Amino acid sequence: MSYIVDLDNETNTAIRVQLYEDVKNTEMLKTQLLSGKLKCCIIKPSLILDVLQVIVAANKAVTARKITTKSIYTEILFNLSPSNNITQSLQRFGIGDNDTTLLVVSLVKKDDSNDNVFTSVVGHELDISELGCLADLHALKRIYKISEKESHSLELLDSIVSRIACKEIL
């Protein structure tokens, strides 16, 4: 089941997100991504606590006056990361050849579709509500540098989204 939400009104763009497990063709998907044949980004679900993280990163990408990376999809991966190192961001949040659980993200203009991205995935689709169950909380706290003190006083998602939203300032 796809999760679709409109981004900033001025962009006339929506984000479509689907979660998959038992994906059999990850290596082929990664090859197509790198060659530009697939117009999407594919994220490691273990580093996503809630789809809100992806929405905030995507909204930053589509509203940016100038993107830092080569494409809007790599910009989403870059925005997810607290690091300003592009290579590290793409490697950390992007998929590996052997990953079998994937979060596929596509941007679509309203009244348009980009179904070929999702039909290319050979795997079992999960409900997006299961995303939080796949998250590696220890890795998220380490990557976003969230201390025990902070994690006791704020919700983890709030801390993560704040870091994504304020990346350029921090």
For tokens 């039909």, the residue is: 119
Would residue 38 count as lying in a domain? yes
- Asked if 43 and 93 touch (Cβ cutoff 8 Å), the reply is yes
3-state secondary structure of 125: strand
Q: What pLDDT score does 114 carry? A: 60
CATH assignment of the domain containing 88: 3.30.2380.10
Contacts of 71 by beta carbon, 8 Å cutoff, 6+ apart: 36
**16 found inside a domain:** yes
- How many domains, the chain? 1
Provide the residue range defining the domain that includes 21: 3-165
> What are the residues facing 15 on neighbouring strands?
5, 107
Q: Does any domain span residue 170?
A: no
Residue 68 within any structural domain of the chain = yes
**pLDDT digits (tens), the chain, 170 positions:** 789 999 999 999 999 999 999 999 999 999 999 998 999 999 999 999 999 999 999 999 999 999 999 999 999 999 999 999 999 999 999 999 899 999 999 999 876 666 678 889 999 999 999 999 999 999 999 999 999 999 889 999 999 999 999 887 75
Rounded Cα distance, 127 and 111, in Å: 23
Residue 40 to residue 101: CA distance in whole angstroms:
16
Residue 43 included in any domain: yes
> In this predicted structure, what is the pLDDT of residue 168?
76
Partners of 42 in beta bridges: 104
